Amino acid sequence: MWKAIRKLGYERNAVASSLRTDRTYMVMLVTPDIANPFWPEVARGLQDTLEEPGYSVVLGNGDWDERREVRLLKTTRRNRFDGIAINPTTNSRELQAIGIPAVILGVRDGFPNFDMVGADSYSGTLEALSYLYRLGHRRIGFIRGHRTPVSGQARDRAYQEFIEQRRLPLDESLVVEAPYDLKGGRKAMQSLLGLRRRPTAVLAANDILAIGAMQATATAGLNIPADLSIMGMDDIYPASLTTPPLTTMAKPKYDIGCQAARFLLERIEGSASRAGRRCVLPCQLVERGSTAPPPA
């Protein structure tokens, strides 16, 4: 029989098989921005871990659009996917309604019954700011990403706590909100450079914003880091290719994907505890050429 199967090139019909096993062996990965090089590494970790037990990963790009994300959730349910890994812009109600095993990519409040895997953005932000402080910076700008009700809060809390801990004057003009893209980073930096007393260092909520900030700084005729230090978060691949290379807080992107897949498999198999689990992975400082002590 097996000889005939090989000769004929027979492939198992996954759709027909799912009617018998109640499994499609399909998992949906929903990211907010597939153009951000952060997510392909997460996707690779997820796929590498799910591949061995026979699962395929389908990618959905939410594009920071709540309506599009809801449509992707409905697609997941309609096509009977076995699980979903998602960095959500929607609330937990929408995700709960689809009734499919799910894991949140990122650690946040508002999803008490879901497994979560993410980097420790709060501690990473504190460490980044402390690093700039050790270099001598006291006037530190912060480019925060455009927030949804469920994202970006950890970095904001860390920045506020840092200012309080170091007893630095609170200057709200040093905090600029921008969309998570290059244009947003450029525009935010232009606002900071236009201040009467501009910052000596700027921390951006991710590397894409930081690279946009570097572009705006160069356009303004300033030298990085002699005139202004710039730092990002994530350590995406392009961060090492900027001029100068970008100092950043690296997040374990591949490991996030692997652990998310393991959580999801346990949910699908029914072997996980009922309570939601949290796996918080540390960030790591990557010191490159975009940071230095402030100008005298």
144-186 confidence digits (pLDDT tens): 987 555 555 889 999 999 999 999 998 999 999 999 899 999 9
Say what the pTM is: 0.88
Strands 26-31 and 83-86: parallel
Q: Does residue 286 sit within a domain?
A: no
Torsion of CA 91, 125, 162, 247, to 10 degrees: -150
Rounded distance between C-alpha atoms, residue 97 and residue 93, angstroms: 6
Q: Which of 250, 272, 291 is the endpoint of a domain? A: 250
> Taking 70 as the threshold, does the pLDDT of residue 26 lie above it?
yes
What strand order describes the sheet that includes 278-281? 56-61, 26-31, 83-86, 102-105, 115-119, 278-281
Q: What distance, in Å, lies between the first and last C-alpha atoms of the chain?
A: 81
Q: The domain that contains 276 carries what CATH number?
A: 3.40.50.2300
∠ Cα 158 164 167 (to 5°): 140
Read off the pLDDT of residues 205-219 as tens digits, 9 standing for 90 and up.
Answer: 999 999 999 999 999
- Judgement on whether residues 10 and 151 belong to the same structural domain of the protein: no
- Judgement on whether residues 47 and 144 belong to the same structural domain of the protein: no
How many independent structural domains does the chain possess?
2
Q: Are the CB atoms for 289 and 225 separated by under 8 Å?
A: yes
Instruction: Catalogue the E-assigned strands of the chain.
Output: 26-31, 56-61, 83-86, 102-105, 115-119, 140-145, 175-178, 201-204, 229-234, 247-250, 278-281, 284-286
Confidence of residue 16 (pLDDT cuts 50, 70, 90): very low
- Judgement on whether residues 235 and 259 belong to the same structural domain of the protein: no
- Judgement on whether residues 127 and 237 belong to the same structural domain of the protein: yes
Query: What average pLDDT does range 117-136 have in this prediction?
Result: 97
DSSP 8-state class, residue 24:
-
Rounded distance between C-alpha atoms, residue 55 and residue 264, angstroms: 11
- Judgement on whether residues 131 and 96 belong to the same structural domain of the protein: no
pLDDT at 17: 43
> Taking 50 as the threshold, does the pLDDT of residue 282 lie above it?
yes
Range of the domain at 167: 121-250
- Judgement on whether residues 156 and 104 belong to the same structural domain of the protein: no
Q: Does residue 46 sit within a domain?
A: yes
pLDDT at 147: 58
Strand-pair partners of 229:
201
- Judgement on whether residues 222 and 258 belong to the same structural domain of the protein: no
Q: Does residue 68 sit within a domain?
A: yes
Q: Does residue 288 sit within a domain?
A: no
User: Under 8 Å CB-to-CB from 276, ≥6 apart: which residues?
Assistant: 111, 112, 113, 114, 115, 116
- Judgement on whether residues 95 and 137 belong to the same structural domain of the protein: no
- Judgement on whether residues 215 and 262 belong to the same structural domain of the protein: no
pLDDT at 97: 86
User: Under 8 Å CB-to-CB from 87, ≥6 apart: which residues?
Assistant: 30, 31, 32, 62, 104, 105, 106
- Judgement on whether residues 147 and 198 belong to the same structural domain of the protein: yes
Q: Does residue 295 sit within a domain?
A: no
- Judgement on whether residues 209 and 261 belong to the same structural domain of the protein: no
Rounded distance between C-alpha atoms, residue 226 and residue 96, angstroms: 50
pLDDT at 92: 77
**Of the candidates 113, 80, 72, which has an alpha carbon nearest to the alpha carbon of residue 96?**
113
Q: Does residue 292 sit within a domain?
A: no
Query: What average pLDDT does range 20-45 have in this prediction?
Result: 89
